Structure 1
Amino acid sequence: MKKHFTLQLSPEEAYQPEVFKNTLLKRAGIPLDSPHAYARQTRRSIDARGRKVKVNIEAELFINERPGSLLDYQPTYQNVGNAEPILIVGAGPAGLFAALRAIELGVKPILIERGKDVRARRRDLAAINKEHIVNPDSNYCFGEGGAGTYSDGKLYTRSKKRGDIRRIMEIFVAHGATEEILVDAHPHIGTNKLPVLVAELRESILAHGGEILFNTRVEDFILDGEEMKGVVTQDGEKITGLGVILATGHSARDIFELLYKRKIHIEAKPFALGVRIEHSQNLIDKIQYHCEIDRGPYLPASSYSLVQQTELQGKQRGVFSFCMCPGGFIVPAATAPGELVVNGMSPSRRDSRFANSGMVVSVELEDLPQYQHHGPLAAMYFQAAVEKAAWEAGGKTQVAPAQRMVDFVHGKISGSLLDTSYQPGLNSVNMHEVLPDFIAARMAMAFRSFGQKMKGYFTNEAQLIGVESRTSSPVRIPRERESFEHPQIKRLYPCGEGAGYAGGIVSAAMDGERCAERLIAAYAKNKGSF
């Protein structure tokens, strides 16, 4: 027998398995000592709008039967070692999921990744943090798993029309993620667990005949008229296939330059730029959970989402939080020497004493008149200029420029800075001299409003750490609406965040699957079942 429940519980009832089970048994009128009773949650979300935090639960209670798996999806990977190949450039979420989908459809993926495998990549991350050395091919953005591997591992998306979200989640679970990601309304995996999961995805690709080339950077395309036949690597090797899925991520500036040089149509794209804001997690918990001391042992580290429209010189632009990392860390995300970029990540337990979030301003192409001579690379060159300014302000290392929040609004250099999760260290500066004027002015406007929306948020016990500039790609690689193929170059399939068609792990993974499906449907002789 199975019973369904929709409940609103206290955190103690929701997050203690035995207490939760007894709560369901009481609601069902079943003795607490029933020997063959099993309870599980199928959906969970936190409601912190009232003075007391509640947890909304959808649940199932099984009597005299064991619950089956929450998984519906069962992978049907076949061996494609001798099948027709497609090329996938970039082994981030889009590339990995494109490769798995190709295997399902009977086509061999050749995955080409400029960086190292996830284990070897760790040494280069340590070098950035400790020695301030940036390897342009192996860093927080480049390498197996892409930028998503060393991130919070957020798995929620608004892109519900782009693909099957549940399928993506279940593939993650099949490769080692916990079933909790199928339950939580805002699931995440955590940067400590993502490398293992990424390695399992790789093993599935290799075990079924796919090929992965690490330390292999694409430096040219093989074009036959207006068809893309393959790529040329840094060693001069020519690799050909049925077509190319270009899933290089939002930071592969050399690929954008190559496309422009080869006269392959690309477009400048609006994006957003700002800083990371770091508070103590305890302060954010007090604001969000209305607690006086701490959030207690049951509630997870709290998050927030803020947005404010600002008007400057008659132009409306949004200022908004981005990629909020509760219980997380700020990390150096530069992809080349001579630039400074910060990003956020969280471990699975979100147990750092710091909370950080990107706080960014929308940048439209009309905001960049002095960069228009760069054509479709205008926004990219603007982005690069701000990152260089941040690097110089930090002391020409990976030390980041920083300023306390209230000091920033008042234009005052902070006499001292707070403790930080950012390992390379901070340098106290006037961030108005680092950020473009229209960015800094809008952020200063927004911070006061955020302090009204979240009492206690606008405080000198928070600091700005800059710059957060890799929010999305500053370039769009166009593609046809239905076929996903580039409108000018046949057999080229722009994909994921770098092409301007995704904004996170799940949406990138879904886009990778769809690009693989479209390419294979158009050009493969032997197509698997869709």
Structure 2
Amino acid sequence: MKKKELELLLPPEVAFDGEQLEREILKSAKVKPEDVKHVHRVKRSIDARGRQVQVRVRADVYLENPPEDIISPTYTYPDVTQAKQVVIVGAGPAGLFAALRCIELGLKPLVLERGKDVRSRRRDLAAINKDHTVNPDSNYCFGEGGAGTYSDGKLYTRSKKRGDLQRILQILVQHGATQDILFDAHPHIGTNKLPKIIEAIRETIREAGGEVLFEQRVTDFLVEQGEMHGVVTADGQKRLGEAVILATGHSARDIFELLHAKGITIEAKPFAMGVRVEHQQSLIDRIQYKCESRGAWLPASSYSLVHQTYYNNKQRGIFSFCMCPGGFIVPSATAPGEVVVNGMSPSRRDSRFSNSGIVVAIELEDMDLDTYGPLAGLRMQQALEQKACAMAGGTQAAPAQLLQDFIQRKKSKQLLDTSYQPGLVSVDMNELFSEEMAYRLREGFQAFGQKMRGYLTNDAQIVGVESRTSSPVRVPRDRESLEHVQVKRLFPCGEGAGYAGGIVSAAMDGERCAEMAALKAGVAVNR
């Protein structure tokens, strides 16, 4: 295969302009345009270590026809109307990609989503922001596409060994995402574009004979002789299948409660909780890019921070989580009487605000396992979210404090403008958290201020609480078969079961669970 492998260091105005980038690649390859069969852009990443920000681009220039999988492959989905059925609980990335993979393997997916379709869901999100009304079945966490639909749409993951990352990105491109996600080092889609992609995936499932049903909350499991045969929904209907893929997301507390009540093994697992910190995006740009303005070509800058803290001889990490450059803080409660915050960004990341979760690791020894058993972490989350709601007045307004005021343990006289639509209430956030958590957060922010000069300022504020970083419960499964350790034909999947940490890792886990469910149904699996 004749090709030239290139690595270029380019100014942003070239690297982020498609036509200029193509010309620069051909120029560096030293070939005539008519001799080129295909230019494959492999990776693009920003290098801000020097005085001038540059962009590293890797590209392959093919002088012969490239392999088929290089030119964005199209995945085909056969008619499975009359095929064996697999029940998939949850229409987040794990559930939707499990459904697509089931179809490829010749199985009919029945996707049951407790929330509404992606368009209808918007009205319930508006009600949270404007009227402070939380619908327990339709909110920022529940509904078509899951929590990822109304988020930044980050598509990078450290879980590359668990599946075919490029395949997931290619399927997203096939359903409407831009080609850029295939080669950007930190790809994202954006909350404004994700809904249409989710709708397109749903239509692919339906056109192939699969079913996607909304407002179908699962209330019971049908287990006989140690095997899962289906589920019961709130309307009393029994939904049967060869297997059940449980892809409910990290906030489906009623599912954890149901599993526990029925004696189906679940386990408490470590997670993290803390706050969202909100800066002006221009400040983060100045710190990261070392210039007054990032200009027209550089994207809104992000950061990743971690620090180890010590309290009573216990070491715990504090770290940035789900950083949203040019984004918004959004209300992510799933029940009345609690306040939860998360972050999202549009595709252009053009908000004047930057926000990130700053969270402290919660280990098993930090939980009251003696009282609550496997639900100890869940109870810990609930208690903090309910306290945040009460401190801020009992609505979806969130407790907040200027960053340096938090360090100095004094209530802020006045808060800053915010992207959080339900509004903020000034409190001393030290009183919201336990003394240990507050101490670790203060220590972490001071350390981050040393790493990023200008970060620790009263021109930033913290908003609480960021408590849904991951599931506080694991639904254990066999490492090989991916079946539940106790109940056969039950495949715990994705973030809710404790096996993923984002859109892409959840999607890959969904595909793996679909393959194992297919084997259980007697269907051959070929990659």
Q: How does the TM-score come out when normalised to structure 1?
A: 0.95
Whole-Å separation in 1 of the counterparts to 2:343 and 2:421: 12
Matched, 1:318 2:317: yes
SS at match of 1:287: helix
Whole-Å separation in 1 of the counterparts to 2:327 and 2:516: 38
Q: What aligned pairs does 1:157-172 form with structure 2 within 5 A after superposition? A: 157-172=157-172
CA gap 1:266/1:28 in 2 versus in 1, 3 angstroms: closer
Q: What aligned pairs does 1:40-79 form with structure 2 within 5 A after superposition? A: 41-60=41-60, 70-79=70-79
What is the one-letter code of the residue matched to 2:200?
E
CA gap 1:311/1:240 in 2 versus in 1, 3 angstroms: same
CA gap 1:412/1:121 in 2 versus in 1, 3 angstroms: same
Contact kept? 1:106, 1:527, Cα under 8 Å: no
Q: Which residue of 2 aligns with 1:354?
A: 353
Contact kept? 1:36, 1:65, Cα under 8 Å: no
Q: Percent identity?
A: 63
Q: Which runs of 5+ in 1 are unaligned?
A: none
SS at match of 2:415: coil
Q: Deviations over 1:91-128 (max 9, x none)?
A: 00000000000001111111010000001100000000
Q: What aligned pairs does 1:367-382 form with structure 2 within 5 A after superposition? A: 367-369=366-368, 372-382=370-380
Whole-Å separation in 2 of the counterparts to 1:479 and 1:69: 33
Deviation at 1:447? 0.9
Match of 1:468 among 466, 469, 472: 466
Deviation at 1:30? 6.4
Q: Which residue of 2 aligns with 1:426?
A: 424
Range with bigger deviation, 219-228 or 15-24: 15-24
What is the one-letter code of the residue matched to 2:435?
D
Q: Which residue of 1 aligns with 2:100?
A: 100
SS at match of 2:235: coil
Q: Which residue of 1 aligns with 2:333?
A: 334
Contact kept? 2:6, 2:29, Cα under 8 Å: no
Q: Which residue of 1 aligns with 2:433?
A: 435
Q: What aligned pairs does 1:472-491 form with structure 2 within 5 A after superposition? A: 472-491=470-489
The runs of 4+ residues in structure 1 deviating greater than 4 Å are 28-31, 34-40, 60-70
Q: Which residue of 1 aligns with 2:7?
A: 6
Deviation at 1:28? 4.4
What is the one-letter code of the residue matched to 1:10?
P
Whole-Å separation in 1 of the counterparts to 2:64 and 2:167: 30
Range with bigger deviation, 462-471 or 34-43: 34-43
SS at match of 1:121: helix
Q: What aligned pairs does 1:96-495 form with structure 2 within 5 A after superposition? A: 96-291=96-291, 293-369=292-368, 372-495=370-493
Q: Deviations over 1:153-179 (max 9, x none)?
A: 000000011011011111111111111
Whole-Å separation in 2 of the counterparts to 1:320 and 1:13: 34
CA gap 1:76/1:39 in 2 versus in 1, 3 angstroms: closer
Aligned length: 525
SS at match of 1:498: helix
Contact kept? 1:307, 1:321, Cα under 8 Å: yes
Contact kept? 1:268, 1:378, Cα under 8 Å: yes
SS at match of 1:129: helix
Whole-Å separation in 1 of the counterparts to 2:67 and 2:524: 36
Whole-Å separation in 1 of the counterparts to 2:118 and 2:11: 40
Deviation at 1:56? 0.5
CA gap 1:236/1:28 in 2 versus in 1, 3 angstroms: closer
Q: How does the TM-score come out when normalised to structure 2?
A: 0.96
Q: Which residue of 2 aligns with 1:513?
A: 511
SS at match of 1:277: strand
Whole-Å separation in 1 of the counterparts to 2:23 and 2:238: 63
Q: Which runs of 5+ in 2 are unaligned?
A: none
What is the one-letter code of the residue matched to 1:107?
L
Q: Deviations over 1:288-321 (max 9, x none)?
A: 0000x21111100000000000000000000000
Q: Deviations over 1:389-411 (max 9, x none)?
A: 11111110000000011000100
Contact kept? 1:104, 1:528, Cα under 8 Å: no
CA gap 1:312/1:466 in 2 versus in 1, 3 angstroms: same
